[in-house]
Structure 1
Amino acid sequence: MATETATAERTRATPLELFFDLVYVFAFTQVTHLMADGESIRSILGGLAILGVLWWSWASHAWLANQQVADRGPVRIGILAAIATVLVISIPEVYPADGESLFGALLFSIGFVVLSIVYTAVNLVAARGDRALRRQVLRTMSVTIVPVSIALISGALLGGTAQLALWLAAVAIEGITIYLTSQGGAWLLPSAAHYAERHGLVVILALGESVISIGLGASHSPITVGTVIAALIAIVVALGLWWVYFGRVSDAAEHSIEAMTGNHRTRTATIGTYLHFGTVAGILLVSLGLGGAIESIAAAHVPAEFDWIALITGLALFLAATAAYSAVATHNPTTPDSGEAP
């Protein structure tokens, strides 16, 4: 690996990475709008499918920047290309109704293929001095890109229930293939501090968007006493999510992972990235439920069943994922490291 751009243990996130995270969180919030428009379990599943595709892309680039400094050389080019691509694929309607254009769905699917190919090329260049890592990149991406791309593009062409099923399958396939091909592999996590900061950034940005949703929900109707009370309750909920993650979990997890070495560290951090998907998805669902509930209360209506389902499901998912991350990250086995990578 090229030493001039390799990261160190205490490497922190760069301004380019913060911009990168902002773009992805913008895409995540588009998912929330999509779910709100449908107001059904189907729309929630459709939103989670898109979020899952975006999440794997975000996570892959976050791990890449952990190995090589993000604002230099080929990694910077790859991140800039990812930013441009995500901004483009965040705009169109991805679930067309019967008779509507397939352009949005195809654009999203092809955008994923572009993201994956560029990421793979950049990763190979960045790992040019590390043969084991280059083999790992080829092993994982060659097995992952083809089936996921086929599922996404086929779903975009078929539309309807087939599209939803294939896109959910694409998310599952990517998670499974990445995990299985990483067993006994050579993925690296040079900086636990950088890992914790990047994951914390995406969580705080998602929480920030939930606050925006609260404000938007209150702004759609005249301000009343009920609206103010509902908004205050929503803010308390958002602060509670912040406290659970940053007050109880984040720092302890970072210090624990930092004390780990070798494959034990990589394996633990990999599981943490998977669990953070649940954390972010939970925040977005809570945001969806709170925004809809405040709009209803402002209009002197009882919050809809969909809002309660989104809120309760989001809280449960957030708490479960955060608790699991805390348990995994702070668990220190007494047996020696088996040498098995994730």
Structure 2
Amino acid sequence: MGEPGGERPMREKAGWRRPTVLELLFDLVFVFALNQLSLRLNNDLSAGRQQWFGEVVEAFLLFLAFWVLWLSTVALTSRRSPESLVIQTAVFVSMAGAVVMAVAVPQGFEQRALVFAGAYVVARTSRVLLLLVFRRETTTTPALLPFAVSAVLWIVGALVHDQGRRAVLWALALAIGYIGFAAGFKRLAGAPIAGEHMAERLQQFYLIALGEAVLVSGMAFSGSNLGTPHAVGFGLAFVAIVLLWRVYFYRAGAVLPVAITGARNPVRQSVAVAGTHLLMIAGVFLAGVGFELYIMEPLGRPEPKWLIAVLGGPALFLAGRSLFELLVFSRISRSRLAGLLALGLLLPATWYLPPLAAGGAAVAILAGIAGSDAWRARGRAPELPAPRI
């Protein structure tokens, strides 16, 4: 998946189709990373600054950098033996890079921009060197060129003083890096991939995002005076988390391993499914920030910019979930589209309402979608995947 290397099979043994203990340890770093991003975004939305939209964009770019680092590591371990010392070293290097990036997040677009960008570039570059030197794997110049250009843009962006130019350069670096990453993976079409492993890794990152939402909601409630409005907000957040779990896993999420392994082109299916998970995970992350905001100030004055998280998070999740369902079943449930429309209509309706009211309305829409799923499932045999790819 964009990492230079050969096409030799990996994870052929049955025991290798499940994530290793090292991979699970690697995931724990991203609990810290998402929490750091959540705190940053919460501060951006809570502060009275006029440039808050630009700060939200900056937080999203930092989020995308973590996603690309995580996904490229998963792609590597979905192809090559997890018992290889070189591969284990590559995972440890990625873990170290992610930790340093997470530490830099609070000032990742400001004073610590070079620390953040440097850690990202070192993590990606060292992995390439490990494969080229110790595995003696070769690649073509077109495969390396996007990687090199992306690395240069990260460092140059960190060195410029204007944050607007930095955002443009880093956005371009992410776009080039991700496109090269996806194109490199697709070039290996027909080469073996552990589809069950890829599916489970994507599901685990989704669960990490849900767990981070639980963490920030609990911390927000613990930091309040435990009054009734705060308790109602915490209750709504908990119900929303359960519904986000339910809507994801029914039913496309539950059959994702089969949807990848049963596809005509499992590699291309993996790339497409990973893209939909980016949208869903970003939606859950945003929703978690919204939970924190309306738990802290449930009956405060209306804050329209908070609706980016409170309503935008569930909307982004549903958009990704609809595309995910299309990839798995070659169709989209009407309830998902209706939910997106309802969230759009809620935007003007909740503009002047307290944050808790907007949160309650979003939870009601998610509950309606989950209820529709349960109603359609009555007396029907479980639907089997029908991927087009």
TM-score category of the 2 structures, normalised to the smaller one: 0.7 to 0.9
Q: For residue 56 of structure 2, what is the amino acid of its counterpart? A: I
Q: Does 1:31 align with 2:37?
A: yes
Q: Does 1:17 align with 2:23?
A: yes
Cross-structure match for 1:99? none
- Structure 2 residue matching 1:118: 3-state secondary structure: helix
Q: For residue 110 of structure 1, what is the amino acid of its counterpart? A: G
Cross-structure match for 1:229? 232
Q: Offset at 1:213?
A: 0.9
Moved more, 186-195 or 110-119: 186-195
Closer/same/farther in 2, CA of residues 65 and 7 from structure 1, 3 Å limit? farther
Q: Is the 8 Å Cα contact of residues 66 and 195 (structure 1) preserved in structure 2?
A: yes
Q: 2:240, 2:9 → 1: CA distance?
A: 45
Cross-structure match for 1:111? 119
Q: Sequence identity of aligned pairs in percent?
A: 24
Q: Does 1:199 align with 2:213?
A: no
Q: 1:3, 1:317 → 2: CA distance?
A: 37
Which structure carries more relative contact order (alpha carbon 8 Å, separation 6+)?
A: 1
Aligned residue pairs total 319
1:161-200 matches, cutoff 5 A:
161-185=164-188, 188-200=191-203
Cross-structure match for 2:383? none
1:124-163 matches, cutoff 5 A:
124=132, 134-135=138-139, 139-140=142-143, 142-158=144-160, 159-163=162-166
Closer/same/farther in 2, CA of residues 244 and 333 from structure 1, 3 Å limit? closer
- Structure 1 residue matching 2:224: 3-state secondary structure: coil
Q: Offset at 1:200?
A: 0.6
Q: 1:243, 1:217 → 2: CA distance?
A: 24
Closer/same/farther in 2, CA of residues 135 and 95 from structure 1, 3 Å limit? closer
Q: 1:126, 1:197 → 2: CA distance?
A: 28
Q: Does 1:56 align with 2:58?
A: no
Q: Is the 8 Å Cα contact of residues 296 and 303 (structure 1) preserved in structure 2?
A: no
Q: 1:4, 1:210 → 2: CA distance?
A: 37
Q: 2:8, 2:173 → 1: CA distance?
A: 36
Q: How well do the aligned residues superpose, as a CA RMSD in angstroms?
A: 2.5
Q: Offset at 1:191?
A: 1.4
Q: Is the 8 Å Cα contact of residues 282 and 315 (structure 1) preserved in structure 2?
A: yes
- Structure 2 residue matching 1:90: 3-state secondary structure: helix
Cross-structure match for 2:260? 257
1:209-220 matches, cutoff 5 A:
209-220=212-223
Q: Is the 8 Å Cα contact of residues 210 and 287 (structure 1) preserved in structure 2?
A: yes
Q: Offset at 1:76?
A: 0.5
Q: Offset at 1:274?
A: 1.8
- Structure 2 residue matching 1:135: 3-state secondary structure: coil
Deviant stretches of 4+, over 6 Å? 1-5
Q: Offset at 1:164?
A: 1.6
Cross-structure match for 1:87? 99
Closer/same/farther in 2, CA of residues 72 and 216 from structure 1, 3 Å limit? same
Q: Offset at 1:143?
A: 2.1
Moved more, 237-246 or 251-260: 251-260
Q: For residue 50 of structure 1, what is the amino acid of its counterpart? A: L
Cross-structure match for 1:121? 129
Q: For residue 211 of structure 2, what is the amino acid of its counterpart? A: G
Closer/same/farther in 2, CA of residues 254 and 127 from structure 1, 3 Å limit? farther
Closer/same/farther in 2, CA of residues 311 and 189 from structure 1, 3 Å limit? farther
Gaps of 5+ in 2: 1-5, 46-51, 331-385
Q: 2:279, 2:292 → 1: CA distance?
A: 20
Q: Is the 8 Å Cα contact of residues 11 and 17 (structure 2) preserved in structure 1?
A: no
Q: Is the 8 Å Cα contact of residues 139 and 181 (structure 1) preserved in structure 2?
A: no
Cross-structure match for 1:270? 271
Q: Offset at 1:170?
A: 1.8
Closer/same/farther in 2, CA of residues 281 and 139 from structure 1, 3 Å limit? same
Q: 1:146, 1:258 → 2: CA distance?
A: 32
Q: Is the 8 Å Cα contact of residues 148 and 173 (structure 1) preserved in structure 2?
A: yes
Q: Is the 8 Å Cα contact of residues 8 and 190 (structure 1) preserved in structure 2?
A: no
| Residues 168-193 of structure 1: CA deviation (Å, up to 9, x unaligned) | 22222222233345554458452111
Q: Offset at 1:109?
A: 1.0
Closer/same/farther in 2, CA of residues 317 and 148 from structure 1, 3 Å limit? same
Q: Offset at 1:303?
A: 5.5
Q: 1:296, 1:313 → 2: CA distance?
A: 18
| Residues 62-117 of structure 1: CA deviation (Å, up to 9, x unaligned) | 01111123343211011111111211121122122xxxxx4x11011111211111
Q: 2:202, 2:214 → 1: CA distance?
A: 19
- Structure 1 residue matching 2:311: 3-state secondary structure: helix
Q: Offset at 1:302?
A: 3.8
Closer/same/farther in 2, CA of residues 183 and 269 from structure 1, 3 Å limit? closer
| Residues 275-310 of structure 1: CA deviation (Å, up to 9, x unaligned) | 21111111110011110111012xx52453232221
- Structure 2 residue matching 1:145: 3-state secondary structure: helix
